[in-house]
Amino acid sequence: MAFEWDRMHKWEDNHERAIIEDVEEYICEHYDIDSTVEMTPEQYIEVEKFWQEYEFSIMSYGFRTVLENWTNYREEEGLDLE
pLDDT reading at 21 higher than 90:
yes
Q: What pLDDT shows up at residue 80?
A: 77
Q: What pLDDT shows up at residue 2?
A: 95
**Phi/psi-derived region of residue 75, left when phi > 0, alpha when psi is between -120 and 50, beta in every other case:** alpha
Q: What is the pLDDT of residues 33-81, one digit of tens each?
A: 999 999 999 999 999 999 999 989 999 999 999 999 999 999 998 877 7
Phi–psi pair at 49, nearest 5 degrees: -65, -45
pLDDT reading at 17 higher than 90:
yes
CA distance to 7, 58, 63, 73, per residue, from 39 (Å): 36, 23, 13, 11
Domain boundaries, the chain: 12-77
Q: What pLDDT shows up at residue 82?
A: 73
